[in-house]
Structure 1
Amino acid sequence: MERSEQVDGHHTAVSPAGRFIACIANNNSNNNSNNNKLRISYAHAPARSTDFTIRLPGKDVSSIRWSRNDNYIALCSPKQIEVINLDDPAHRIRLDNGTAGLGKFQCADFVGSSHLLTLWEFGRAKIWDLTTAKGTDLGDLKTIADGRPWQIRPVGASIRPVALLSRQAADDHLTVLFPTSENPLQSAKIATTDAQALSWSPDGRWIAVIDTPTAATSIHFFTPDGPFRTYPSNPSVDHFGLGIKSLAWSGDSRLIALSKFDGKVVLLNTRTFTPLAVIEHTTTIDQSSLPADQQAIIWQETVSASHDRSYISSPQPASPPLSKARASVEPSELGVAEATFNNNGSFLATRDERMLSTIWIWSMATWSAHTIITQHTNVRKMHWHPHHPDIIMFDCGEGLAYLFDASNIITPPIPIKTTVPGSPSLAWLPSTPGRKSAILAATRSAFKILYPDGPDQSSLGTSISKPKPARSRPESPVFDEGASDDSLLALLSGRKPMPEKTQPSYTERMDLETELADAKDDESERLDDTFQGKRKLHSEADEIDPLDDSQIF
């Protein structure tokens, strides 16, 4: 296993294509100056990097966001948001919160190639067009919900719609809009008690809205035409208890896994939105009723006194260790802790809150347990490989990346040391089919890249633009909240003035020809020619100049 050199920096953010990694460079000097450097590194060669000077103090940066095309980077702080264009690093854009009448900036994220969504702490939201500095108010989003109140459509053309959840007059509303649209926003009232989150299907055909766990109808499914299905479709009048906790779509959008607070997972078919199977995590694993070749293999990790790790195959029946000695009554600690599909929907990996050290891998072909892995410590997160459907990685918070091939159940998981001090979080780097895989191991102050198949040299062809000297940089445009659109447009630097008018518009030419005709003919002839000539000119206008500037107003 090859590993990169450690790179010091915080707020690590990987570009959507997996080519670059951005972070705020740590200041190793002994003075009290702030860390005002943004470092962009190659994902497959972090030692190759470029630093950009930023105006925001590094200690104030709360998050870093990339645009979908890897061109823009947004640095968010409570008072300001700074946007850097990697194609032209000298040109910066700053969004100033002014007097903070809407509260602090809570977050910012890109919803298009050049459109930035900003959200204030009190729920107010706005989409900014970075090319024109024009802002579109979105109203009040549901910031107190447990899940994400907005999401961009996963697939589609270069311009994709955004779905948002808002709360107006004690009613939930679902809004779908295009970031580039200047038309008034149209939102629809939805029949939810208190919507918690929304989620697009991977194919972009459905929008699922999760209601509060105490609602009789837990999930609402929508299409672009409006409401489509609900689950359960016939809720009980005597509904008590908690319902759906979260949902997960399969990569092909054929299945939905609904995680419940009672520890069950309901699998729905997206054609009819009816249950196909119900998965239940039992404290005792016993598949004695199944043939021996259909029983799930159970791998259990053991750690010796010298910290050597190995796996043994446990016979059935077996009882995974419980995570807590006493049952919890907190909703966040009940039911299914995590459920995630692999990229083609053939496997589903789950964890139960009662047995956090145990991973259950279910086969969607047989609707039964395929492999069960019990770790020495609690599992923190599971990650399926972005392209290899059988490879899963899980993180137990011990600085080890465990890799397991679900297609080869006779081989136990393989632990890989990250050699990063502390307890790094692990994630696969985004990649395209054919490229080598890589794992990001990041802490709050440093990161390192692991290469299971070696570094991918083909990804180093893309260059990072070098920043120009500070004296040659133009003044950064500022989008000040509270200023009018006209003043925002005037603040943009680098915009070219309107070109000088070199010839009269078509309307002016028509008026000039009419006046010349009036001067030559008598009054009766002028009256007849006026009507006939204008009919002819109007008919020719659509053919000659359908986008004439006079038609804009």
Structure 2
Amino acid sequence: MASTSAGASLPIVVSQDGDYVARLNGKELVIHTGSASQNPRALGIIKLKEPLASQAKHLKLSHLSSHEPEISEELGLVSRQHLLCATDVRVTVWQLHPLKWHAEIENVESGLTYVDFGGDENEVICFHSWNTKITLFTLDTGRSQVIKSPKFSNPNGYGYRPRTRQLAVLLKPDANDVLTVHEAQTYELISRAVLPTVDAQGLKWSPDGKWIAVWEAASAGTKVLIYTADGQLFRTYTGPAGSDSAFDLGVRTIEWSPARGHGPASEFLAVAKIDGSVDLLSSRTFSCSTSLTHTFHIDHYAPSIWRERYLNAGGDLEYAEASGSSAFTTSTDSSSLPRGVSMVLFSFDGSLLATVDQSRSNVVWIWSLGTASRLQSVLVHEHAVRQLSWHTNKPELLISTSNSAVAAVHLWSLDGDPVIARVPIARNDAGKYEVSWVKTDDAGRSVFWFGTPEEYALGTLSVQEGNAQFNVLYLVNGTKDVNNFDIMTISQYGT
């Protein structure tokens, strides 16, 4: 979740697996659990002291364990969920279960622009004003290390290798872009490579940890650099064979498919482009296996097309089947947004791909990626799409849109028709809705969070005769916080 500027209310943050939610309510930091095994409830309250209570800028929950379950068991590792809250000059960290104070980093150089957990829950990574440096703190030893001149102060500019946690960073020490790779925990330099780029825009590790992909600014045309895990240039992708560079508008973003198979290995690298196409590169050769275009063609195979519509004056919504000729008559204004394919998201097993092109920012395209990739379904909405989220082990896709009049969640499933359900929380005037799956549920249900910066609801969808209903399991809001008097309460330092 993004942090906010000083004086603004911090958003509610949800953990990566959906099991925990943290909310800053005045001088209280309230922790909730959405885990089925613990029953959704308020887990504890942390009483914050000044100046943290009034000057908090960053609120983050730690990521899932960096190790596979079998590796964790072999090494005797225990992953515990942690929470950090930071001001401009101080970072405080708590362990959530059991709830207790864990560590504090004092006298941090003023002007933190981005703060998050590092290679694991025992590390914190801090970016400083003007991209002068990165400081990496190890909480149990108090050790700190510095990497100078990061190019960006956001997740586009760095990444931890899956499982083994080496750190890759884009730097800009002078006129050239530089990629460095560092050892886990010690952060000793493994390799340093000057990039053949004009203005590199970001890097992403492949989920199998074999490759680092770096993409170039769109103004330089299509250019994606593939580096090995130790920082050696392996391939340079400049577009499909035979393409005309004179009409090449460049790359908007990239995304790897999940690692799967006996290896496991990532099968595809999706290159989303400014011209509205997506090149799928084989991870074996890094050549274009197919290119997906966001245009509708009537051929021997017709994808299902669904259009959002209002059911009544009360604002209830539904999907209705539509023909190719009528589906795209509704269009949102995307003139102020960057051009190109802005969202590219693979399903849990990599067999499906969801995309959004900013020329029609209200449309979700869902592709089936088999031996012959094809358009599976198209979902047309009244408002711009805000977020896409695939279920962690089912072919189900959650969609939120920027509908400021109605709080509603959209669900597409490979096994049935898409549905829309209103969520019983206050609408957000800016249309800022977020969705997040809960990774595990004992009953096998599809459980998820839906919310705004002020309020979150945990629930499931039930469908009867085509009508969808959101079933509330738990609510997180100001009222829920103050009404829980029987939960654990600790001070900022756990005393």
Matched, 1:302 2:315: no
Contact in 1 for aligned 2:399/2:435 (Cα 8 Å): no
CA distance in 2, matches of 1:229, 1:192: 14
1:244-291 per-residue CA deviation (whole Å, 9 max, x = no partner) reads 101111123101221111111111111111111111112xx331x31x
C-alpha deviation, 1:76, in angstroms? 1.9
Contact in 2 for aligned 1:400/1:417 (Cα 8 Å): yes
Alignment-derived partner of residue 94 in structure 2: 84
Matched, 1:171 2:182: no
Higher strand share: 2
Alignment-derived partner of residue 237 in structure 2: 231
Matched, 1:141 2:154: no
- Describe the SS at the equivalent of 1:58: helix
Matched, 1:261 2:266: no
Matched, 1:249 2:259: no
C-alpha deviation, 1:452, in angstroms? 3.5
CA distance in 2, matches of 1:350, 1:216: 21
Matched, 1:359 2:361: no
Alignment equivalent of 1:130, drawn from 125, 139, 154: 139
- Describe the SS at the equivalent of 2:426: coil
CA distance in 1, matches of 2:367, 2:29: 43
Alignment equivalent of 1:222, drawn from 224, 227, 234: 227
Matched letter for residue 359 of structure 1: V
Matched, 1:323 2:331: yes
Matches within 5 A, 1:478-493: none
Matched, 1:286 2:293: no
Matched letter for residue 20 of structure 1: Y
Contact in 2 for aligned 1:81/1:96 (Cα 8 Å): no
Alignment-derived partner of residue 52 in structure 1: 46
Matched letter for residue 46 of structure 2: F
Which contiguous aligned blocks of 4+ residues in structure 1 show a shift greater than 6 angstroms? 233-238, 453-457, 469-472
With over 3 angstroms needed to count, the CA separation of the structure-2 counterparts of 1:183 and 1:382, relative to structure 1, is closer
Matched letter for residue 251 of structure 2: I
C-alpha deviation, 1:376, in angstroms? 2.7
With over 3 angstroms needed to count, the CA separation of the structure-2 counterparts of 1:71 and 1:231, relative to structure 1, is same
More divergent stretch after superposition (332-341 vs 312-321)? 312-321
Using CA pairs under 8 Å that are at least 6 residues apart, name the structure with larger relative contact order, 1 or 2.
1
Contact in 1 for aligned 2:214/2:224 (Cα 8 Å): yes
- Describe the SS at the equivalent of 1:311: strand
**How large is the RMSD of aligned CA atoms in angstroms?**
3.1
- Describe the SS at the equivalent of 2:156: coil
CA distance in 1, matches of 2:249, 2:324: 32
Alignment-derived partner of residue 501 in structure 1: none
C-alpha deviation, 1:46, in angstroms? 4.5
Higher helix share: 1
Q: Scaled by the length of structure 1, what TM-score is found? A: 0.71
C-alpha deviation, 1:316, in angstroms? 4.0
C-alpha deviation, 1:319, in angstroms? 5.2
C-alpha deviation, 1:350, in angstroms? 1.4
C-alpha deviation, 1:193, in angstroms? 1.7
C-alpha deviation, 1:467, in angstroms? 5.6
Contact in 1 for aligned 2:178/2:193 (Cα 8 Å): yes
More divergent stretch after superposition (332-341 vs 84-93)? 84-93
Contact in 2 for aligned 1:66/1:110 (Cα 8 Å): no
| Identity over aligned pairs, percent | 22
Whose Rg is larger? 1
Alignment equivalent of 2:28, drawn from 12, 28, 37: 37
Alignment-derived partner of residue 402 in structure 1: 410
More divergent stretch after superposition (448-457 vs 86-95)? 448-457
Matched, 1:431 2:439: yes
Contact in 2 for aligned 1:341/1:348 (Cα 8 Å): yes
CA distance in 2, matches of 1:256, 1:296: 24
Contact in 2 for aligned 1:357/1:376 (Cα 8 Å): yes
CA distance in 2, matches of 1:142, 1:250: 26
Matched letter for residue 93 of structure 1: E
Alignment equivalent of 2:192, drawn from 167, 171, 187: 187
With over 3 angstroms needed to count, the CA separation of the structure-2 counterparts of 1:248 and 1:310, relative to structure 1, is same
CA distance in 1, matches of 2:323, 2:492: 68
Q: Scaled by the length of structure 2, what TM-score is found? A: 0.78
Matched, 1:335 2:344: no
Contact in 2 for aligned 1:436/1:456 (Cα 8 Å): no
- Describe the SS at the equivalent of 1:203: coil
CA distance in 1, matches of 2:369, 2:221: 28
Contact in 1 for aligned 2:170/2:177 (Cα 8 Å): yes
Alignment-derived partner of residue 22 in structure 1: 22
Query: Which consecutive residues of structure 1, in runs of 5 or more, have no partner in the other structure?
Result: 1-8, 26-34, 458-463, 474-553
Alignment-derived partner of residue 66 in structure 1: 61
Matched, 1:277 2:290: yes
Contact in 1 for aligned 2:118/2:136 (Cα 8 Å): no
- Describe the SS at the equivalent of 2:225: strand
C-alpha deviation, 1:368, in angstroms? 1.7
C-alpha deviation, 1:364, in angstroms? 1.0
Alignment equivalent of 2:386, drawn from 370, 380, 384: 380
Contact in 2 for aligned 1:245/1:260 (Cα 8 Å): yes
Matched letter for residue 423 of structure 2: T
Count of matched residue positions in the alignment of Structure 1 and Structure 2: 430
